[in-house]
Amino acid sequence: MNQNKPVIINGIPCYSPEVDSQHNDYPESGLKKLYELESKHFWFISRYEFIIKTITKRTNSNCRFIEIGAGTGNVSRKLMDKGFKPAVGEIHLSGLQYAKSYGITECYQFDLYNTPFSDCYDAIGLFDVLEHLDKPEKALSNINSMLRDNGLLYITVPAHMWLWNKYDRLAGHKIRYTKPSLIQVAQQANFDIIECRYFFIFITPLLWLRSKLHPDKHLEATIQEEDSEIHVNTMINKTLLAICRLENLINHLLPNIFGGSLILVVRKRANKDNI
């Protein structure tokens, strides 16, 4: 745990102010693109709607909640619409500036490998973060220590290495998970599994096609290539959003075999179970 007192920068407590903007796990440059597109792009919209549906099913809005690796804080912003008062943690200070612009007041800059908090949250969100990390077990162990006994952790990750493509590498991904591999890393960090489901099921054929059209050949990518991954034609964007929203309504009825992403809900074991 990080026992140092934070440095206050622009009103934000910073526990790891020395972090490089070109951090190996996620460079700061990606946050600006997120901020510009996540309120318009079908993937971000349908994703946060599915995440919020999952959270509100199990967690009360008056709980102590923090989203870690929050990026710009977009998911937490949507949670506020449901009555939550989330905190956000992010390694890059610029992401927290975006979060503050959304009206999120409790923001912390810290490194997940050296967390400053212990036993103080009822629920934590970790959305599309784990796949960026070289040491996911250490990160989840630290998150476990941040939760109170029986606290919940919500995780999303990209799924299936057979969907791997050059945009995974451009995004800084280290891996795409399966249900067994994600469950294993969570259990190793002393979590009990509550639910693990695939989503983005309906668009999986499109994601597979993308992996064939844009394989990862380890070539240097241009800025134009990076931008093309997230820009979608307006009509196609609306169509895909409608398809994903339909899936969100009936996801619980679909075979839990494959999908473009995974959501995992786990619970921290009480101290008596850790002896």
The string of pLDDT tens digits covering residues 113-150 is 999 999 999 999 999 999 999 999 999 999 999 999 99
- Mean pLDDT to the nearest integer, 172-183: 97
Sorting pLDDT into bands at 50, 70 and 90, what band is 157? Answer: very high
State the DSSP string of 234-255: HHHHHHHHHHHHHHHHHGGGS-
Which has more pLDDT, 206 or 18?
206
Q: What is the pLDDT of residue 273?
A: 46
Residue corresponding to tokens 């280290």: 174
User: Which of 94, 124, 126 minimizes the C-alpha distance to 109?
Assistant: 94
Distance CA 118, CA 225 (A): 41
**Any idea where the domains of the chain sit in the sequence?**
11-274
DSSP letter at 24?
Answer: S
SS3 content of the chain, % helix, strand, coil (to 5): 40, 20, 40
- Residue 123 and residue 65: Cα distance in Å, rounded? 5
**Domain 11-274, what architecture?**
3-Layer(aba) Sandwich (3.40)
Does residue 1 have a pLDDT over 70? no
CA distance 17 to 167: 29
DSSP state of 15: S
pLDDT tens column, 15-45? 998 875 555 555 566 677 778 888 899 999 9
Q: What is the pLDDT of residues 98-119, one digit of tens each?
A: 999 999 999 999 999 999 999 9
Strands 191-199 and 261-268: antiparallel
- What average pLDDT is seen over the chain? 90
